[in-house]
Structure 1
């Protein structure tokens, strides 16, 4: 027999699939384990016991599932949101934010189908069955959730039926004037021209002339002293013969006393008019005035002034909503006519002057009559409108996911992507300018695959569909995405699940369509991507069904993913160092029917100490009752004092005067807990009335108390090569194990043969202080093992104390058949 000493000094491949346990020829084999539970594989090669979880609080309703969603304003201001059945609560840095609770429309069954995106203090929340909402933080304890209102779009296709829509009003500052004071209000002008009212008569065939005058004004006073807001207007020139009298510079002014005027807009250099030409102008204004006037400063060159119309728009906030009447129900909501669900919907109207306006439906009277508020420019007349478009987003057609891309706010629905105007997130009106809003139908490619998510990448908007991932970008290298420059590229990728992907360094990680594998999306060239199944070597872990993804960057790059069986999956991801290892985590405690606590949701936010906070939403059976708690996984122990090690779950810390008992553990009433107090380990102490006491009257000034858990690593059958080939499958007997440890409490470390049932403790009396306090050991230890010749040279390693454990390398010493 030959004694062999094969060293395994890296575990970066984590726990691999049972299907690979005999593939000793693979390079990854010597860096893998058959089981990696509650250990995290480290980029440096070793494995380290995960941090414990600090109890933050119980969810509002323990009987219903909750979901966590991050709200990250900056690395210094980060929140975790508790989304429950029709409510949202806010947490930050281990505690609930005051009594903040926001009513929401989202039912428990829909929480994990919510998509979200955030910019500064706003978060847009979307779901196919709910109108788009925006959550806004205005102060630490002030949060609001409201419907997000799209300005001017997006819209369905232009009406191609014979149905017309007839407006009952113009939406303008003035009615169609028939005299200086009729039908309402008062028209005034330079020289008190008797026909000045014709500037507001809605008839481009009439005009007003001020002979010998090259500057002046024409204005309108509201009836009854009413004050209104004007934010747009258009000017129509006179006929070709007299176009030389057209004003070329002017101001729009407002007043509330008829003598003190405020300039609202000014224009200069407005030359080159053609006969009957109309020019349109908009400006920002929120101030309401009783008087408004058009005051021109100069004309086109001739010695008189003459023009046909000045039409000022009454802003929507100042309008009295008016009816819009359809000639039939054909073409409206699949020929069902207007519905109550159309309230709040946008409608686009093409006026007789060839210019599109948009309005919002305020109320519904019948299947053919709705009341609207008009935005932008007033209508030129009240004739029936044949070309119109209804807003896209109505029940059954709400947006499903969103992203920010190149200063645009983008959303997806079914096969389409809608992007706002550049820098104007509210404006979805289509146009031809480079910064105009965009709409891409069949953005998911030639197949009719639903878009399940969109995400911003370097130079492209990634479109995840059930059939694969596409990249929407400008048509050239480093060219922005515009209405006239776009390309929709296909990539060799997997179909996607409706689970939000995460950015992981230079790549994206996403869940494939089956929800049973995780893939990495890598950019191979300009806007070209490829995918690999990162979990293929550990396929048995994500195969339990991935619920969601959360990526931690500090202190180590780890992807966390709750699984449908309640386990918490982990994946250490550092491709540049070929570190790609999966591990599984069972939280302390249990839920009825399961041997471990059920992790239902995971969120990562920046923490206060530089490391990321990993928020977990956990379900357990405690004292026979179902409880759901919010917990934060602590940063892993490294380079500190043993008293600071937090290696319990759903636990709390006490620091203060030396005491024999601590309270505040009401959430663990009736349970047994592990305690690290004063550097000593206490196991299975009972909690009663929210309090736990140390046995024998012991006291301590620093406590870590919570549900105990152990970590376990099982090795593979190492193949060091025999004289006549592989020794895989040959009989072996392990005599002892040598472990290289870092900052490890060896009193909690145990080793076992795969065939023998006895756990061998690491016995090192010299590292236990005389007062019974545990100490941390760094170095090599040997552990004799009682093994059988029927073994495979495999061992189990576990750590059972609420203390740290890091294994740098493992060497089994065994004899093998020649």
Structure 2
């Protein structure tokens, strides 16, 4: 019988599902493996042993789950954050950043439900049960975590019950003045008139002579020398405005500066206005500015007027708003509990909640609840502008965020900070991430309620894509964008398109260049989202041919671009899934990774979290949290998967897990390995392999007094690849299912230590070593081999022409192709 030589030189489909193991008619079959463990499929076609993992440190509380989150300011400044039970630690480039530790509210059970989005030195963190937080990096070792405060919104619908809310104060800098010096402070003006106080007496129907000419000032001095911050004001005109009739003594000023001073002599301009013309009777105009400085004196220094310059300058009211940070919280009293928290009234959990109030002048203001007194009384501070009076307020809105109803995901889109919750998306004003004040202008904040599609599916994530805000829901993905091509999303211009996609899990998606990768609702599949036309998308299950891998339950996903495009995803069983993703070259191959050591109930260490950050050498860092049982105790370590070996010196290869490197003078003993006490490790010492050495008292010793200047020490792992039954086509049809006997295997290798390479028939239990003369030097050091090698195999006629390959040494291994040489029955 003629021997058959079916070469397999492409493995870009990786490990395929057992359901496809005899589907030789599929195009992908000849590019697939039955097992690809601790090997990665390369875009070039071959498979290569993955790099080992470098030990960074133990998490703060090894008994509890820990999650990693990337913080990437730029490709030159990237961090990995350790989120544990009520704390955050910071790492960068393989080491912890000093002793930085930030207290956080997040419990162990919350960590994998956290969502986040980052811009420059700030990261917004969200969870449905917590107020949004903002993590800020002020310097390499200076980090803070604080509540993120939404400015003026978003809100629940306007109250439609009979309940009124009555404020006990108005947010004015001044009290309601009854004279120039009562009840407190001092009012004065340039004309030294006795009625200067009437500009601060809360009355809008009086003519107040501000000055006798067309220019002057109106001033207020705080009582007792107190200093206060003012950040807004409004002006109301007289009710007798008649610019055409100067005899009516109505002359409203048209240009001014608002100033502050602490001595009444030296003044700082806080705000200035010109051309404020066209005033009408009892008109009110509002002005805001940014100010953080406190002053004892405030004055409006004005010029110009609506009538003749000789006419007295008159007005009705100047309302200076004291900044909320300077206010003493005051009562907001409800007439009833109806309409408040489903009739339960105010709750202690309302502290921090926003309230919108429609004043008697028809203008909305907003406040924040700072304290809880009873079901009908809460303490507030008022933002924006002072109220005209303390009358009961009928129209009001409570902030939409309360415990269990906080925002759940976040993204940046078109210079807006966007959040989502249930069926709604809330986006800030353009370029003003704190401002969620709804409006109709193009750059105002907006609220979008997800509707349509026939299903009310929760939004589980949002993400920025080309020209659209992607909205991932449990029922599928929609695209929110401006109504026209290349048109910005605004409150008045938007469209919401449904795409034929899978339902989504509450797991952050990743941008994979020309597409998005996301986890489907069941967490048992990974899909690719591709744009087919403007704001129109479609999805494919990228793991369908390897469905048995993600079906174990995907925990999270992270995407690496260098040195090869790969997706990494921890699985519920502790394996680390991998997916080589280069669709332009039809490279789509999954692989599995079992890390050295063992965790309780497993024969391998359990990878529980994985993130990717830019590395210092241009290669991405893959950070992992790995759980093991060491010395009978659960240990969770932070490790960084090392770049795969490429075109280097053998002694620099790092092919061990949870390992460390020693480089220096030749030594026989290396210490500092306490994290692996009692474990058996492999050592690559100056290119020589030592296997099965034991760590004792944090040290490992080379046998027979050997010394080395470069050590790689860590837990061993094996690369394993099982081939499929190849079908080369017989004279009378397929060879699938016919008996075959493999005589030998021809391997094409690249930079491979063959002393650790072994092959085995599926039908025989003996592993055959891959041997070639002169591969091991006289000093016992391995050499890397590139080329072809033949390995005889002891097989049986009961076989299928399949072989197993494994690499057991802590050294490089790359297989470009293999050719099983076999005979088959007719």
Fold in common (TM above 0.5): yes
CA gap 1:247/1:579 in 2 versus in 1, 3 angstroms: same
CA gap 1:211/1:2 in 2 versus in 1, 3 angstroms: closer
What is the match of residue 724 of structure 1? Answer: 732
Q: Is the 8 A contact 1:417 1:443 kept in 2?
A: no
Q: Is the 8 A contact 1:123 1:134 kept in 2?
A: yes
Scaled by the length of structure 1, the TM-score of the pair is 0.99
In 2, the alpha carbon distance for the partners of 1:223 and 1:677 equals 79
What is the match of residue 277 of structure 2? Answer: 271
What is the match of residue 390 of structure 2? Answer: 382
Structure 1 regions of 5+ residues with no counterpart? none
1:186 aligns with 2:186: yes
In 1, the alpha carbon distance for the partners of 2:52 and 2:503 equals 35
In 1, the alpha carbon distance for the partners of 2:669 and 2:393 equals 80
CA gap 1:140/1:241 in 2 versus in 1, 3 angstroms: closer
CA deviation profile, 1:750-795 (whole Å, cap 9, x unmatched) = 1111111111111112221111110000001111111111111111
What is the match of residue 576 of structure 1? Answer: 584
CA gap 1:82/1:241 in 2 versus in 1, 3 angstroms: closer
What is the match of residue 560 of structure 2? Answer: 552
Matches within 5 A, 1:627-776: 627-776=635-784
CA deviation profile, 1:522-557 (whole Å, cap 9, x unmatched) = 111111110000000000000000000011110000
1:114 aligns with 2:114: yes
In 1, the alpha carbon distance for the partners of 2:318 and 2:145 equals 41
1:150 aligns with 2:156: no
CA deviation profile, 1:82-135 (whole Å, cap 9, x unmatched) = 111111111111111111111111111111111111111111111111111111
In 1, the alpha carbon distance for the partners of 2:286 and 2:107 equals 46
1:251 aligns with 2:240: no
CA deviation profile, 1:716-764 (whole Å, cap 9, x unmatched) = 1111111121111111111111111000001111111111111111111
CA deviation profile, 1:189-218 (whole Å, cap 9, x unmatched) = 122122222222211110213686111111
After superposition, the CA RMSD in angstroms is 1.2
Q: Is the 8 A contact 2:210 2:315 kept in 1?
A: no
1:281 to 281, 287, 295: 287
In 1, the alpha carbon distance for the partners of 2:691 and 2:326 equals 71
Query: How far did 1:170 drift?
Result: 1.4
Matches within 5 A, 1:154-303: 154-209=154-209, 213-239=213-239, 241-243=241-243, 245-302=251-308, 303=310
CA gap 1:376/1:446 in 2 versus in 1, 3 angstroms: farther
What is the match of residue 534 of structure 1? Answer: 542
1:79 aligns with 2:87: no
In 1, the alpha carbon distance for the partners of 2:670 and 2:223 equals 75
Structure 2 regions of 5+ residues with no counterpart? 245-250
CA deviation profile, 1:274-299 (whole Å, cap 9, x unmatched) = 22211111111111111111121101
Matches within 5 A, 1:783-798: 783-798=791-806
Paired residue secondary structure (2:622)? strand
What is the match of residue 17 of structure 1? Answer: 17
1:469 to 470, 477, 487: 477
1:487 aligns with 2:495: yes
In 2, the alpha carbon distance for the partners of 1:445 and 1:222 equals 59
In 1, the alpha carbon distance for the partners of 2:600 and 2:226 equals 68
Query: How far did 1:624 drift?
Result: 2.3
CA deviation profile, 1:591-621 (whole Å, cap 9, x unmatched) = 1321111111111111111111111111111
Q: Is the 8 A contact 1:243 1:275 kept in 2?
A: no
What is the match of residue 330 of structure 1? Answer: 338
Scaled by the length of structure 2, the TM-score of the pair is 0.98
What is the match of residue 458 of structure 1? Answer: 466
In 2, the alpha carbon distance for the partners of 1:689 and 1:218 equals 80
1:589 to 587, 590, 597: 597
Query: How far did 1:445 drift?
Result: 5.1
Q: Is the 8 A contact 2:204 2:239 kept in 1?
A: no
Query: How far did 1:242 drift?
Result: 2.7
1:566 aligns with 2:588: no
1:620 to 613, 628, 633: 628
CA gap 1:210/1:510 in 2 versus in 1, 3 angstroms: closer
Q: Is the 8 A contact 2:196 2:210 kept in 1?
A: no
What is the match of residue 813 of structure 1? Answer: 821
Paired residue secondary structure (1:643)? helix
1:600 aligns with 2:612: no
Q: Is the 8 A contact 1:517 1:533 kept in 2?
A: yes
Q: Is the 8 A contact 2:191 2:212 kept in 1?
A: no
In 2, the alpha carbon distance for the partners of 1:624 and 1:197 equals 79
What is the match of residue 321 of structure 1? Answer: 329
Q: Is the 8 A contact 2:71 2:118 kept in 1?
A: yes
